[in-house]
Amino acid sequence: MSGISFDVKLSRSHDLTSEDGCRSLLRYLMRLFTNGVAIAAPPCSLYSCACASVHKRTKENVRGDLGNWKVRLARVIWTNWVTCMKILHSLRPDVWLICEQPSTSWGFCQPEFVQLAELMGMFLTFKYIQFIYHLDQLINLYQFI
């Protein structure tokens, strides 16, 4: 299976702000083979420190300025993605997840992501590929590469 892009700019079936898009993502994820890898790069531009003047996130307010439509849109996409990953983990714990984000991403501070990280036992790997789970199988992946 080749890579598939999900974004609000494509068709409704690939729009993570819609129910159809989330269902479509889950259908693709469920087709992964045992020990398959889901590599995701949820929207990071509005979670980076470079956009602090727009999102206005702080340690006290990790959700940011929800009065700004761009911040709300990024939040919907991020939250829907996290929800899909939670469902995937409950149905397919044999699938690996790699989440690519800048290490300073505010996305990692969102309560929903913190829950997901705890649920999946995620850990920081290195700057470009942020989180991966199933450490015992990571060795097999590197042997494959």
CB atoms within 10 A of CB 134: 17
CB 5 within 8 A of CB 21: no
Instruction: Tell me which residue of 10, 17, 15 sits closest to 79, measured CA to CA.
Output: 17
Q: What is the pLDDT along the chain (145 residues), one digit of tens a residue?
A: 566 777 666 678 888 888 998 999 899 888 888 888 887 777 667 788 778 888 889 889 999 999 999 999 888 988 998 999 999 999 988 888 888 777 778 888 889 988 988 888 887 665 444 444 444 454 444 444 4
The pTM of the full predicted model, rounded to 2 decimals, is 0.77
pLDDT (0 to 100) of residue 90: 92
CB atoms within 10 A of CB 121: 12
Q: How far apart are CA 114 and CA 80, in angstroms?
A: 14
CB atoms within 10 A of CB 129: 14
